[in-house]
A and B are shown apart, each in its own frame.
Chain A
Amino acid sequence: MDNQIFALINIAVMTGLMWFIPLQFIPFFIWLERKGSAIIQDRIGPNRAEIFGVRLFGMVHNFADVIKLLMKENITPSHANGFYYLLAPFWSMTVSLLPLLVVPLAAPIELAGHTIRFQAANFSVGVLYVLSITSMGVFGVILAGWASNNKFSLLGGLRSSAQMISYELSMGLAVVGLLMVYQGVQIDGIVETQGRLLTLAGHPLPLPNWGIFLQPVGFFIFLVASFAETNRNPFDLAEGESELVAGYHIEYSSVKFALFFMAEYSNMVVAAFLISTLFLGGYQVPFASTQDLLQKPQLALLLLCGGGILGGGFLGSIFYLSAKDQRSLHTGMKRWEPYLFAGLGFGVAGLALILMVISFNFSFPVWAPGVLTALLQMICLLLKVLFFCWLFVWVRWTMPRFRYDQLMNLGWKLMLPLALLNLLVTGVVLLIQN
């Protein structure tokens, strides 16, 4: 096959994948939110919906939600501004799915004479593309608030847009610090640089060259600003239930509400991807650079197996413990399902252990290093993203909401000067180093 055609197909597949990944994360995220909030508050959480006795620990509730939202009456209020009213949810959803295009899932690998890239689009503007696209998300909120022609949604939209705009500043400045350190805006370059070891005055330190170590203040600002950008607790003033009924999407029902809801979660998925890519080394496995992994497929396989053992064992034991809860028995819930999942988890762990033991006698085929490396790096990125997804849930069910003046004070009087100071210090240090 011609190399150019192959590259085109590669880009098309990756674009589809990067569109698909956040969409697949949404139901998982909603489940994580429900179950996580329940467990934080000493509750069991969703466990009633079932399909032929299969409950998937409450994951089936998502199907019920989808059916409910699709079957609901699609109301357009007569006082709403028709076109913009319809545009807002579609705008929100579209914009929330776009930024992932530039995030690499793994380092490019060579396979049968072709280079496979795991990045949909490698724009020369890189991070700036992400910033510009995420800042367009605010239009969806403003449009929804204004076009609904309802005072509560207008207030919600105004508050939300003011908040998003003021936190975008410090977010952008935090990223600028990062760009100064890595000397470039292209995301694949940034991630590649993060695979090295941190060096201090020529001496390598036992730390990966991640943004979180080079720019701790920038990381903190970016994290807080991304909470504010995604309208997430403790900054979820856009939908302060106690003040604004529901925020900018009061007048939306059925699929249009579903789109807003999905956009909110997909924004969070994107934020998790961005934080892990920019500040936590992206797909880089700590202390094992891409070259190392490509040269030693043994190492990649061992790391994969170790991850399998840990993950399988952890999930299996959680499922096993949850199966031992006798109280759910008289509600008619079947015992076999948690035991099945526990068995699956332990089975994965056992297989990984066996593979680990026999892998010492493997002679790896030519394609193995590339595939193993890509797989390992994707799983590594996934774990980082999952951690940040959990952080979003964890923080939401821990913090109370900020008051509006507190939010603005924090944004303009603390975060912005801090970000500027961070820039200044970074610049001075870089000047001294050169």
Chain B
Amino acid sequence: MKVVERPEMKTTERLYIGEVLKGLFVTMGHVLKNLRNPQGMPVVFFPEQQKDLPPATRGRHRLMKREDESPRCTACMLCATACPAECIHIKSPDPNIEKLPEKFEIDMLRCVFCGFCVDACPLDAIRMDIPEIAIAGYTRESLVYKKEFLMDHDNKDIVADYNPPRPVIWTHGPHAKP
């Protein structure tokens, strides 16, 4: 068994007061630096300004489409089973016809953005690659994404260096886009 020795404190450090003063000088240095040069503060004016997201960002969900604009999803329920937050609600019609989801809802208020649904999907029908990370709304209903909303995209692959301007999506309220 390896015994990790605690670093021995010197007597000056034990007195605490000297270290406190050192710390106070450090923070005062920051204050003086930032008062003298406010433009030097590493600040992003969110949401007007946004940082570039890394290519592997797990963002908002979308449902991929076939060539005839129908969803790739076959309502196999694997994503809903894998979901630890139980936020995916799928309803499939009569099993005797070709299976397509009748209802596919993702409750964003429950979603934990773990990406298990993407890993579970055998048909690559659900992806989390729309680079939006600040999702906001004014009502609970507006944050339960319906099938139509999830399929409202151009079905192209979002390539690694995809870095468009990303406004915050307000689905309701004064900032809502028409």
Nearest CB in chain A: distance from B19 CB, A: 10
Does B43 contact A43, Cβ atoms closer than 8 Å? yes
Asked if B85 CB lies within 8 Å of chain A CBs, one says: no
B45 partner, pick from A328, A395, A398, beta carbons under 8 A:
A328
A324-B38 contact, Cβ under 8 Å, with A40-B27, A399-B20, A399-B23: yes
Alpha-carbon separation in the docked complex, A232 to B31 (Å): 21
Asked if B49 CB lies within 8 Å of chain A CBs, one says: yes
A44-B41 contact, Cβ under 8 Å, with A39-B30, A321-B36, A398-B27: yes
Asked if B174 CB lies within 8 Å of chain A CBs, one says: no
Asked if B26 CB lies within 8 Å of chain A CBs, one says: yes
CB-based nearest A residue for B48: A331
Alpha-carbon separation in the docked complex, A395 to B25 (Å): 11
Asked if B28 CB lies within 8 Å of chain A CBs, one says: yes
Asked if A257 CB lies within 8 Å of chain B CBs, one says: no
Alpha-carbon separation in the docked complex, A264 to B35 (Å): 28
B39 partner, pick from A41, A326, A332, A398, beta carbons under 8 A:
A326
A43-B41 contact, Cβ under 8 Å, with A36-B31, A395-B24, A399-B20: yes
- Bitwise, A394-416 to B at CB < 8 A (1) or not (0) is 11011100000000000000000
- Bitwise, B40-57 to A at CB < 8 A (1) or not (0) is 011101001100000000
Chain A residues, CB < 8 A from B37: 321
Chain A residues, CB < 8 A from B49: 327, 330
Asked if A322 CB lies within 8 Å of chain B CBs, one says: yes
Chain B residues, CB < 8 A from A327: 39, 43, 45, 49
Q: Which of A20-36 contact B (CB under 8 A)?
A: 36
Asked if A42 CB lies within 8 Å of chain B CBs, one says: yes
Alpha-carbon separation in the docked complex, A324 to B38 (Å): 8
Asked if B81 CB lies within 8 Å of chain A CBs, one says: no
Q: Which of A367-418 contact B (CB under 8 A)?
A: 394-395, 397-399
Asked if A318 CB lies within 8 Å of chain B CBs, one says: yes
Does A42 contact B30, Cβ atoms closer than 8 Å? yes
Does B31 contact A39, Cβ atoms closer than 8 Å? yes
CB-based nearest A residue for B39: A325
Does B39 contact A330, Cβ atoms closer than 8 Å? no
Chain B residues, CB < 8 A from A39: 30-31, 34-35
B38 partner, pick from A41, A321, A398, A399, beta carbons under 8 A:
A321
Does A44 contact B43, Cβ atoms closer than 8 Å? yes
Alpha-carbon separation in the docked complex, A40 to B23 (Å): 11
Alpha-carbon separation in the docked complex, A285 to B141 (Å): 64
- Bitwise, B1-30 to A at CB < 8 A (1) or not (0) is 000000000000000000010011011101
Alpha-carbon separation in the docked complex, A394 to B26 (Å): 11
Q: Which of A167-219 contact B (CB under 8 A)?
A: none
Chain A residues, CB < 8 A from B27: 40, 394, 397-398
Nearest CB in chain A: distance from B47 CB, A: 9
Alpha-carbon separation in the docked complex, A322 to B49 (Å): 19
Does B20 contact A42, Cβ atoms closer than 8 Å? no
Chain B residues, CB < 8 A from A43: 41, 43
Does B30 contact A41, Cβ atoms closer than 8 Å? yes
Does B45 contact A330, Cβ atoms closer than 8 Å? yes
Does A42 contact B41, Cβ atoms closer than 8 Å? yes
Nearest CB in chain A: distance from B40 CB, A: 8
CB-based nearest A residue for B33: A42
CB-based nearest A residue for B17: A220
A42 partner, pick from B24, B26, B34, B36, beta carbons under 8 A:
B34
Does B23 contact A398, Cβ atoms closer than 8 Å? yes
Q: Which of A300-353 contact B (CB under 8 A)?
A: 318, 321-322, 324-328, 330-332
Chain A residues, CB < 8 A from B23: 398-399
Alpha-carbon separation in the docked complex, A385 to B81 (Å): 62
Alpha-carbon separation in the docked complex, A134 to B34 (Å): 37
Alpha-carbon separation in the docked complex, A324 to B39 (Å): 8
Nearest CB in chain B: distance from A116 CB, A: 39
CB-based nearest A residue for B22: A398
Does B35 contact A321, Cβ atoms closer than 8 Å? yes
Does B31 contact A330, Cβ atoms closer than 8 Å? no
Alpha-carbon separation in the docked complex, A332 to B132 (Å): 23
B24 partner, pick from A321, A331, A398, beta carbons under 8 A:
A398
Find the residue from A39, A326, A331, A332 having the highest chain B CB count within 10 A: A39
Chain B residues, CB < 8 A from A397: 27
Chain A residues, CB < 8 A from B45: 327-328, 330-331
Nearest CB in chain A: distance from B88 CB, A: 32
Nearest CB in chain B: distance from A104 CB, A: 30
Does B31 contact A40, Cβ atoms closer than 8 Å? yes
**A321-B38, A398-B23, A398-B26 given; 14 more Cβ-contact pairs under 8 Å:** A36-B31, A39-B35, A42-B30, A42-B43, A321-B37, A322-B38, A327-B43, A327-B45, A330-B49, A331-B45, A331-B48, A394-B27, A394-B28, A397-B27
Nearest 10 A-B pairs (CB), nearest first?
A325-B38, A398-B23, A398-B27, A40-B27, A39-B34, A331-B48, A325-B39, A322-B38, A331-B45, A42-B41
Q: Which residues of B contact A (CB under 8 A)?
A: 20, 23-24, 26-28, 30-31, 34-39, 41-43, 45, 48-49
14 sample A-B contacts, Cβ–Cβ < 8 Å, listed by A number: A39-B35, A40-B30, A42-B30, A43-B41, A43-B43, A325-B38, A327-B45, A394-B24, A395-B20, A397-B27, A398-B23, A398-B26, A398-B27, A399-B20
